[in-house]
Chain A
Amino acid sequence: MTSMASDVLVLAERAGDQIQDVTYELLAKASELAHAWGGKAEVALFGPPELAAQLPAADSVICVDHPALAGYLPDAYQQALLHVLRERSPRLLLLPNTTMGLDQGAALSVLWDAPLAASVTGLTAAGGVAVATCQVLGGKVLAEVELAGERAICTVVSGSFDPSAGQAGGPAEVVTIPPPAELDAPRMSVRQMFEPEAGDVDITSADLLVSVGRGIGSQDNLELVAELADALGAPLSASRPVTDSGWLPKTRQVGKSGLKVKPRAYLAFGISGAPEHLEGMRGAELIIACNTDPHAPLFDIAHVGTTEDLFDLVPALTERLAP
């Protein structure tokens, strides 16, 4: 063992009392790296210590509780996290690439004086060195960077790692640290919380889109695909012919004249792939195309395709998602 730190710290993201899934992805990766380095996988948990029970896979859960940490307050989180980092001196801090991660990562990079690798989709321990793969230019380019120093921070794109190893095991050691004094004089406060509105969804912010095209034939058939979308918890989007026909509102149109979307996965049913449409969804991370015409241009840019009839495939998918 060298004197170099070998622990990996994950900042837990929670919504209310619920630890968010992305935390488990990060914890799984943290365990992998820390154990390879002979260190510990630790989770910083801000809020009630009893939530540590949801983090059995961690070697330690470092708890800081204070009224200012009841919700997510960027300034309070920053003070608390800096405090924990100074106390624990991990080698690597993993943050999710969420609102919280975007707030904290870059600020701590300055305050904790550690390099930051942003938009990380891959992370390995190559010998003693952590090597991160980062998305640049909207994923058009990947960069492999070395985090060779004694400390570093990564903000990780959610969905990059398998969370299963981060969910089991335990129980974790729970360490409670007294909150730093700065939390008593916060520079910001929450005025109001907003839950999702009942109005129409914003398809540009969805992780998963179920999209329909001319191939669905009529408005009645839309119901079939809508059931699948419901089962997936994904909004319905469409190509121009569908919205032109008034079967779906314009807010759902993907394409040159509609909205440009970059979901993590785009399921296209009965969309042949006119250039106007492709322009709107090319950026999706994973494109799954279903069209009975094997020459549909959409197959040229889709990652995965099938010529199964959507009227057979869609109900089969819905069925498999039934609880």
Chain B
Amino acid sequence: MTVRIVLGAVIMLAGLALAGRRLLWLGSLVRSGAPAPGRVNGAPSRVWAELAEVLGQRKLLKRWRSGLPHALVFWGFIILTFTIVEALGDTFISKTFAIPVIGHAAALGLIEDLFTVIVLAGVIVFSVTRLADSPARRGRRSRFYGSHTRAAWITLAMIAAVMVTLLAYRAAQVNTGDFPYGSAAFASHALAQLLQPAGTGVNAALEAFFLLANVAVIMGFLVFVTYSKHLHIFMAPLNVAFSRRPRALGALGELPATAGAAGAGHIEELSWKQLLDTLTCTECGRCQSACPAWNSGQPLSPKLLIMDLRDHLMSPATAGRASAGRATQGSAGGKALVPGVISPEVVWSCTTCGACVEQCPVDIEHVDTIVTLRRRLVEEGQIEPAVQQVLQADAQQGNTFGKSGRMRARWTRDLGFPVKDARKEPVRYLWFVGDFASFDERLQAMSRQLAVILDDANVDFGLLFEDEHDDGNDVRRVGEEGLFQMLVEHNMASFAKASFAEIFTTDPHAFNTLRNEYPSYGLDKPVVHYSQLLERLLADGSIPVEPLGLRVTYHDPCYLARHNRLTDPPRRVLRSLGCEVAEMPRHGLNTFCCGAGGGRIWMTDSPGSSSSQPAERPSENRIREAVAVGVSYFVVACPKDFVMYTDAVKTTGNSERIQVVDLIQLVDRARGPVPALEAV
């Protein structure tokens, strides 16, 4: 008994010391980060997030095939803390130790056994998943591509070892008569049958051995966890607790800035939450599988980006500086994050579509971190010339097309009726047209169509004409925060000149920033997307329509669906028009980006630049998905989508099979007998 206590104590103290030391060190790394404001306010939503995301495994269960086993193993480990307490009690207190209150209730024995078996089964499912999606075989298509697969296998083996030693200890206990639970603990009793022939003496030895082995494996696992990607079992609850609520989408987060310099150029300039993100990543690769950049052969994987930042954070040089205290902060030394740790191509590949953030089970905020890195690159002038041109034009002319600002409302000229000037007379709705719908010749036709629809429906709307400037959503996501603020200030001044009750826009990007970011600059009017406006007008009969009887599919714009959770209004519009919506596999919050967001539409590089095999563009990938649904119409609710997908239909050679149409065109068609849907 003494030997057991001493051995147990040595194992425990060694394990706790090693793990504790490591955790303290990790804590010092996180604390070396810059401040992250607003991470503790709104406690109720944080508690709810803990319950739903951690205990409830909400995001994981969206993919039940891997999510359910994970949830069961997670819950299993929570249940099995009882066995750990019992094992420690057995080791250090007495063989008859029982957890206070619960005691040796038969139900506890059953649950313990049940979850031991379930966890073992889970380990098998995980192994099968990893074998089936092996990165060695599937390359970039595997979500485990670039993950530490060896550590993952060790983790699985250790989990199995915890379960096996536990069961063996309990089975030996059955045979020595020390087992406090009856036949409800079915697995222990079943294994006991196998061990019984060895005799009581051997079983007594086995009992002692497996008890200590169990404690040793648990302690070993504890230490291993703190040194591996499996750290998430400690970090995830923290990361979720400190995450941006309700989600790190919509408005951009409050990003770190060092004195005088925007964004982050060195690891310690990232916020502590961004550093915590890197330690929390489990390398599960759900972000990577959903990422439009990764899927079109671009070098960006949100997972690998976070992992690279973590590896750099933990590298001896960086970590040494961090533990030496924050006095060394700044750009005094260490590798530049870009290009030293992350290549510029990776940073610029992001469309800011938010698929990674949506997927991440541990609430990592990839997009905010990428924009943080971009801000510093912009600060240093390291932007590709094509984007520079756009930003300069935007600063000079107030639009990203480099056109004269006076041309902005030129599209209204041939309407046959005057469009109200909201600066001169009050209007109910202020139409924020946005750059694309104002200046792109193909989209101008659609803007005219919508103006006619609204005019016919007696909607009281007006424009800001040349006083409307670029909304700045994409400029901000490129990392040009100064320009964004300048644009906001201009637009806010323009709003102040006008009299209106509500703003609407066709552009989900403009919608996003007007709705989520302009309020902090003083905008206090409701902002709606035109799909919401059309929904109202169809519902109250202002736009009389005949059913179209079409079968269509609908593409959710990232900035409408994921960033703003609006997936129903466009679908309701389609139903009002008598269209049947056949969904693509990736729809709603899981929609797939067209590839134009986050300033990507202004960049020159082509897909597949990172590999010898040219991959398809995100928009082309998407059109193939739509064609497979077997519908003739691909409905969009975003000007950029219209441009991107019209091109993709051509480049994939699908002009005969599918046509890209905007909600506006369908509404227009349903309003009256138009012979055929004209391609714009």
Contacts and interface: CB of A to CB of B under 8 A. Distances in A.
Q: Do chains A and B touch in the complex (CB under 8 A)?
A: yes
Interface string B427-447: 000000000000011100000
Nearest to B386: A257
Contact of B602 (A246, A257, A279, A297): A257
A53 B651 CA distance: 58
Interface in A253-283: 253, 256-258, 275, 279
Contacts of B343: none
Contacts of B603: 257
A274 to B, nearest CB: 8
Given A275-B440, A275-B441, A253 B604 contact: yes
A294 to B, nearest CB: 16
A16 to B, nearest CB: 35
Interface string A228-258: 0000000000000101111000100100111
A219 B494 CA distance: 50
Interface string B567-610: 00000000000000000000000000000000000111111000
Interface residues of B, number: 14
B614 interface: yes
Contacts of B602: 257
A258 B440 CA distance: 17
Given A241-B651, A257-B386, A250 B440 contact: no
Contacts of A214: 650
A63 to B, nearest CB: 47
Nearest to A297: B441
Contact of B606 (A244, A256, A279, A297): A244
B606 A246 contact: yes
B614 A250 contact: no
Contacts of B441: 275, 297
Nearest to A244: B606
A257 B606 CA distance: 11
**Most chain B CB within a 10 A radius of its CB, from A214, A241, A275, A297:** A275
Contacts of A275: 440-442
A246 B604 contact: no
**Most chain B CB within a 10 A radius of its CB, from A246, A253, A257, A279:** A257
A81 B637 CA distance: 67
B596 to A, nearest CB: 12
Nearest to B384: A257
A13 to B, nearest CB: 33
Contact of B604 (A245, A258, A279): A258
Given A275-B440, A275-B441, A243 B606 contact: yes
A250 B603 CA distance: 12
Contacts of A243: 606
A26 B640 CA distance: 51
A297 B445 CA distance: 15
A214 B647 CA distance: 11
A279 B402 CA distance: 10
Contacts of B605: 250
A306 to B, nearest CB: 23
Nearest to A275: B441
Contacts of B442: 275
A232 to B, nearest CB: 27
A256 B602 CA distance: 8
B71 to A, nearest CB: 43
Nearest to A246: B614
A275 B441 CA distance: 7
A246 B402 CA distance: 28
A245 B442 CA distance: 23
A9 B180 CA distance: 117
Nearest to A253: B604
A307 B441 CA distance: 23
Contacts of A250: 604-606
Contacts of B440: 275
Nearest to B385: A259
Contacts of B607: 244
Contact of A257 (B402, B604, B650): B604
A279 to B, nearest CB: 8
**Most chain B CB within a 10 A radius of its CB, from A244, A245, A246:** A244
Nearest to B604: A257
Contacts of B402: 279
A297 B444 CA distance: 15
Contacts of A241: 651
Given A244-B651, A250-B605, 20 more contacts: A214-B650, A241-B651, A243-B606, A244-B606, A244-B607, A245-B614, A246-B606, A246-B614, A250-B604, A250-B606, A253-B604, A256-B386, A257-B386, A257-B602, A257-B604, A258-B386, A275-B441, A275-B442, A279-B402, A297-B441
25 contacts: A214-B650, A241-B651, A243-B606, A244-B606, A244-B607, A244-B651, A245-B614, A246-B606, A246-B614, A250-B604, A250-B605, A250-B606, A253-B604, A256-B386, A257-B386, A257-B602, A257-B603, A257-B604, A258-B386, A258-B604, A275-B440, A275-B441, A275-B442, A279-B402, A297-B441
Interface of B: 386, 402, 440-442, 602-607, 614, 650-651
Interface of A: 214, 241, 243-246, 250, 253, 256-258, 275, 279, 297
Smallest CB-CB A-B distances: 4 pairs: A244-B606, A257-B604, A275-B441, A257-B386
